[in-house]
Chains A and B, each alone.
Chain A
Amino acid sequence: MLSKNLTAASTRPIILGVLKQGRSYGYLIIKKIKDMSGGKMEWSDGMIYPVLHKLEKEGLIVSDWVMSKDKRPRKYYEITEKGKLELQAEQEQWSQVTAVLDMVWKGQIPKILPDAEV
């Protein structure tokens, strides 16, 4: 199970990433995420909505109610150009974090003496 903080921090890139694949609505997004994490990320389904609304207010995604005759109406979210840039920035940040963590896991930590001991 992932910790709450980590989940919260990763939510934004995950949602943006999912939406980059194409527009989607809340329930479907959650389903995809759960699928990807194999149920290892602890998510309350409802928590996705505040995040979606926040992303929308920041202009990273836009929403649109879609009505169809025999299906339920759905509120579809779509990533914007600004959202794509944001996703790229997030990706770079996470890569840096994983790169550093990678070295940590492999024990490749450089030996630098503190000033006083030189």
Chain B
Amino acid sequence: MQKFDLNREIKAWIRSFRKFRPFDHGSIREMELHMRDHIDDLLTAGHSEEEAFSIARQEFGDVHDIAREEYWNISKKRNINSIINNTMINSYLKVAIRHFRKHKFHSALNVIGLMTGLAIVFFIFLFVSDERSFDQYHTKKEVLYRVVENQYYSGQPVFPVAVTPTALAPALSEQFPEIIRSTRASYESLQFQLNDQAITEDRGLMVDASFFDMFSITILEGDISGFENDIKALVLSETLARKYFPDTDAVGKSIKLDDEEFTVRAIMEDTPENTHLPFNYLVNFEYYLSFDPERNQNWGSNWLYTYIELDPNADPAMVDNKITMLIKDNSEDSSTEIYMQPLTDVYLGEVDFVVEAPHKGEMLYVNIFTLVAIFILIISCINFMNLATAKSEIRAKEVGLRKTVGAARGQLIFQFLSESVLLSLIALLLALGVVVTLLPFFNDLTGKSISIEEFYSLNRGLNFLLVILGSAVFAGLIAGVYPALVLSKPMPAITLKNNGHSVKSGGAFRKILVISQFTISIILIIGTLVVAEQLNYIQDIDLGFNKSNLAYMRAAPEKAPLLADELRKESDVLAVGLTNNHPGYVMSSTSGFEWQGKNPDESMLIHTLGVDEHYLSAMEMRIVEGRDFRKGDSTSIIINQRAAEAIGFEEPVGSIITNHGRDFTIIGVVSDFNFKSIHTRIEPLLIYMEDDPARLFIRYKPGQEARIKEIAETAWTSMFPDKEFSIGYLDEDWTEMYKAEKRTARLSTYFSAIAIIVSCLGLFGLVSYTAEQRTREIGIRKVLGASVPGLFMMLAKDFTKLIVASLIISVPLGVFLMNRWLENYAYHIDISALIVTETILGVILITMATISYQSLKVSATNPVNVLKNE
């Protein structure tokens, strides 16, 4: 049997106390001494060691009970202060602040980097959440759909069209019980009579009465109950009501629209910015039908938007299947299928519809920007990681000391993480300041009108708060986790012995981080250059006609030729041509043409454009075969090269094309010109002599915009004294058409500039740190005869290698990605060697400048100053 060892038993008994948290070191010691005193007394009283221990232990009582009592003492005084003391947050905070103070430069670099990253995240969040908010305000948004078309033509890609025939909406709600309501919506620009002046108001919407039951429209005054039965009912927006009835109550008043008396039935709130279908006034669709009730049965011409409200219990996919063939069934020769597009998908939908609603966003840009936000945040987090790990030697002593006095690794990790989260929260506050200050500028840049007030509302505000706090804490954690792991690792004995010089500060990992940072930045730079170049290309592309020095106006068809003659008398006017279409938006097309040798099973969609005999020459379009129109060429047509090719005529001039039994002779072929956005390839086009074209295109002498406006206005006023005068310029329209691209170009310029600046900030910090580390080495080298250029080379070499490595990765990747983007354009640039060279040179220059400052500073230091400090 083993001999009883009193000391060992006491030790074992004492050890059982340690597992209870309430006992601190002192109280355990106190109880141990109690035990020993008691045992001593018992031994004196004549008990054996074993008996004495047993009695003393029994009388001491159950350790659980004592622990529970002691726990009460602790838990009662638990408050914020005790938590701070217990978790040593106080100490962490003190050390953190001291550290920030001591290393002002690096801390500032860290905060500025993170601030920039966070500010970009917030901006992009604002942008994306605004883009996603489109049409979300309709209470019935879940059951509202727009009905759109896919048209099919042989040999051509699917032709998506957003507009539909007049007869579609009523047919949908009548034939399908799942469709509760339907409405047509067509944009109109009617002339409002204000005193003796007629003003054309855009964005009027002609709708069925059910429109009010489907869409969320806030009626401020009056009511819409009379709308259904009054074909001349008018609902005005608040702004329009104030414009036309500034002093009186508009409801019940009448106003002349296109020379007809309309009655204002109600005033509605202005439509919010974030709808794909903005409108300023509503008129009854029945008004349009009243001219000819037959129109209601028209299945042929696509010209208005159709919206439906689905039974909430219906299965959208099933309904979608049922309605697909509705147009085909009602209109022979039609190749059109229809489908439902959820209302909330319209704005960011991926399909590029023909005749899209006025507000259309690009999911692509939303995605690109989201990605960019993440990229820039990553770059700034990398800065933080790099600087922190680089500086880890400085912290190694502190870590060693903390470990020696009992800090667990978890506590140290917590310390460093909380330090970085603290920094990122500071950065967050600064970033918020930046966002608020720069919001007007950002709105200008993106064409949005976001206000901070929007985020005071509970829902959006909460989301915003969640995103910003989330990203700040996320950034803090991501940025801090690696440094925390590295810093908490070293063995205290070694670091303290070696004066803190034993830590491997993650050199290789840092290199990888720098490389990835610059890889991202360089990709963004390539992106920016490509977007800018593509934009220039679009602006200067040969459209097939000359869009400069070209003004246009609209007149009543019967008086347009007179007005044109009037203008031709002016010496500053070079030519005036008439047409029925704007050359950037030719939308009329038909598949009803026949010609000899045409495959009867195939149908080909051909766009049509009506002009007069002056148009082609006024536009400076080029006739490549045959001749231009002459007066009276009513059965002659001109086709474009694409049409000639598609039809397959060997000798197009002189060939006959038939439309509904009428023969047309091709008299000429015009060189291809863009008559739509250049996102789309040039399609077959047929030009004919229009009987009453109403659009005038005026070619004038360069630089005479103001003069032309004056001339046109004088001519207009003498001819139409009561009609509002307006004139447009093709150059401006073109700019408008590519606004989205321009915006992207500007935004991406800013983004890539910020990315490269933040990356360079990090590099700058890293170089200055390395230089600092090597001051003594450099001093000795100088004493031994090293030259300043030699030292500079030595310092710059390491970093240059990293930049070169990132160039090798990023250039091919960037070129690949941008080629994918360019595929969106039917006509686009090829990424040139020039862009690549520009990028490479630019990046090398910028980074060399960053590296040089510090390297030169250090290599130029007088060695005496450095070495005497040692």
Contacts and interface: CB of A to CB of B under 8 A. Distances in A.
A53 B60 contact: no
A107 to B, nearest CB: 39
A117 to B, nearest CB: 47
Nearest to B69: A50
B27 A53 contact: yes
Query: Which residue among B65, B70, B73 has the maximum number of chain A CB atoms within 10 Å of its CB?
Result: B73
Contact of B65 (A47, A72, A74): A47
B30 A72 contact: no
A44 B72 CA distance: 18
Contacts of B651: none
A30 B37 CA distance: 12
A75 interface: yes
A72 B39 CA distance: 13
B36 A72 contact: yes
A44 B73 contact: no
A50 B72 contact: yes
A45 B60 contact: yes
Contact of A50 (B34, B36, B37, B73): B73
B77 interface: yes
A44 B69 contact: no
B61 A44 contact: yes
Contacts of B70: 49-50, 53
A88 B440 CA distance: 73
Contacts of A44: 59-62, 65-66
B171 interface: no
A54 B75 CA distance: 12
A89 to B, nearest CB: 21
B711 interface: no
Q: Is the interface of A mostly helix, strand, loop or mixed?
A: helix
A1 to B, nearest CB: 15
Interface in A51-80: 51, 53-54, 57, 72-75
Contacts of B26: 75
B66 A73 contact: no
Given A44-B65, A44-B66, A53 B33 contact: no
A26 interface: yes
B31 interface: yes
Given A54-B73, A57-B77, A27 B62 contact: no
A53 B59 CA distance: 20
Nearest to A8: B69
A27 B66 contact: no
Contacts of A54: 72-73
Interface string B66-88: 10011011000100000000000
Contacts of A72: 33, 36-37
Interface string B746-790: 000000000000000000000000000000000000000000000
Contact of A45 (B27, B61, B73): B61
Contact of B27 (A27, A49, A51): A49
B34 A45 contact: yes
A27 B66 CA distance: 15
Nearest to B67: A50
A26 B66 CA distance: 14
A27 B73 contact: no
Contact of A26 (B34, B59, B69): B34
Nearest to A51: B69
Interface string B1-34: 0000000000000000000000000110011011
Contacts of A26: 30-31, 34
Contacts of B34: 26-27, 30, 45-46, 49
B38 A46 contact: no
A46 B33 contact: no
Interface in B562-589: none
Contact of A47 (B30, B61, B72, B73): B61
A50 B70 CA distance: 5
A46 B33 CA distance: 12
A75 B25 CA distance: 13
A73 B29 CA distance: 10
A49 B36 CA distance: 15
A46 B77 contact: no
Interface size for chain A: under 10, 10 to 19, 20 to 34, or 35 or more residues? 10 to 19
Contacts of B73: 50, 53-54, 57
Given A44-B60, A44-B62, A73 B33 contact: yes
A50 B27 CA distance: 9
Contacts of A46: 31, 34, 60-63, 65-66
Nearest to B59: A45
Nearest to B36: A72
A26 B60 CA distance: 12
A74 B32 CA distance: 11
Contacts of B61: 44-47
Nearest to B30: A75
B77 A49 contact: no
A57 B22 CA distance: 14
Contact of B38 (A45, A73, A74): A45
Interface in A68-107: 72-75
A50 B59 CA distance: 16
Nearest to A56: B73
A18 B63 CA distance: 25
Interface string A28-50: 00100000000000001111011
A46 B65 CA distance: 9
Nearest to A65: B26
A50 B76 CA distance: 13
B75 to A, nearest CB: 12
A13 B77 CA distance: 22
B42 to A, nearest CB: 12
A8 to B, nearest CB: 10
A27 B37 contact: yes
Given A44-B60, A44-B61, A45-B60, A50 B66 contact: yes
Given A45-B59, A57-B77, A74 B33 contact: yes
A68 B34 CA distance: 16
B31 A49 contact: yes
A50 B31 CA distance: 11
A8 B36 CA distance: 25
Contacts of B37: 27, 72
Contacts of B56: 45
A27 B38 contact: yes
A54 B77 CA distance: 11
A50 B71 CA distance: 8
Contacts of A50: 66, 69-70, 72-73
Nearest to A28: B37
A1 B62 CA distance: 19
A51 B60 CA distance: 14
A33 to B, nearest CB: 12
A47 B38 contact: no
Contacts of A74: 33
Interface string B40-73: 0000000000000000100111110110011011
A24 B679 CA distance: 95
Contacts of B36: 72
Given A26-B30, A27-B33, A27-B37, A47 B77 contact: no
A95 B341 CA distance: 89
B348 to A, nearest CB: 63
A54 B663 CA distance: 111
A86 B455 CA distance: 58
Nearest to A53: B73
Interface of B: 26-27, 30-31, 33-34, 36-38, 56, 59-63, 65-66, 69-70, 72-73, 77
Interface of A: 26-27, 30, 44-47, 49-51, 53-54, 57, 72-75
Given A44-B59, A72-B33, 15 more contacts: A26-B30, A26-B34, A27-B34, A44-B65, A44-B66, A45-B56, A46-B31, A46-B63, A46-B66, A47-B61, A49-B31, A50-B69, A53-B27, A57-B77, A72-B36
5 contacts: A45-B56, A46-B60, A49-B34, A50-B70, A51-B69
Q: Which 4 A-B pairs have the closest CB atoms?
A: A44-B61, A50-B69, A27-B37, A46-B61
